[in-house]
């Protein structure tokens, strides 16, 4: 049974998973340790549909993954993990911003803001500050 793997075998599996994907999420770390069988089943599916170049290359799959994660309102760190892989594959900040902006007509401002906040944090960008009195984000400026 796969849950009978040693801690060293589980660690080696997790390390390879990270090398193959370029990132790690909390659920990867926890399932490898506590339900190795489930993690390997999940990973087999993802290796086929996500990691393996088939008709779509990995960069295209990353962009689609980011779009889907934003639409699904995923956690910021998960979105940013895929942004990092996309950047590693040659995607620019501008391309990712355009992808995030594409969420607007599909899902509206609330969902767009999830992706936009992830993009801003990931690329450490800032904007201009108004020079007039304003009300900002629920608190006086």
**In this predicted model, what pLDDT tens digit does every residue of 10-44 receive, in sequence order?**
999 999 999 998 888 899 999 999 999 999 999 99
Which neighbouring-strand residues pair with 135? 140
In the prediction, which pLDDT does 93 show? 98
Nearest to 96 by CA among 88, 86, 104, 106: 86
Cβ atoms of 101 and 112 within 8 Å: the answer is: yes
- The pTM (predicted TM-score) of the whole model is 0.82
> Reduced to 3 states, what is the DSSP secondary structure of residue 136?
strand
Cβ atoms of 33 and 9 within 8 Å: the answer is: no
- Which range, of 13-22, 85-94, 111-120, averages the lowest pLDDT? 13-22
Is pLDDT above 70 for 96? Answer: yes
For 3, 11, 59, 64, the CA distances from 21, given in Å and listed in that order, are 22, 15, 12, 15
Is pLDDT above 70 for 140? Answer: no
């Amino acid at each position: 049974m796969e849950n009978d793997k040693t801690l060293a075998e589980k660690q080696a599996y997790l390390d390879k998973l990270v090398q193959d994907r370029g990132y790690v999420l909390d659920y990867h770390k926890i399932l490898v340790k506590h339900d190795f069988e489930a993690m390997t089943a999940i990973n087999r599916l993802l290796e086929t549909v996500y990691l393996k170049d088939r008709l779509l290359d990995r960069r295209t799959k990353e962009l689609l993954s980011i779009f889907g994660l934003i639409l699904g309102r995923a956690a910021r760190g998960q979105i940013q993990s895929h942004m990092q892989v996309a950047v590693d594959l040659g995607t620019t900040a501008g391309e990712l911003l355009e992808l995030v902006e594409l969420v607007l007509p599909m899902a509206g401002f609330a969902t767009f803001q999830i992706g936009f906040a992830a993009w801003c944090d990931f690329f450490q960008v800032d904007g201009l500050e108004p020079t007039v009195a304003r009300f900002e984000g629920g608190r006086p400026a």
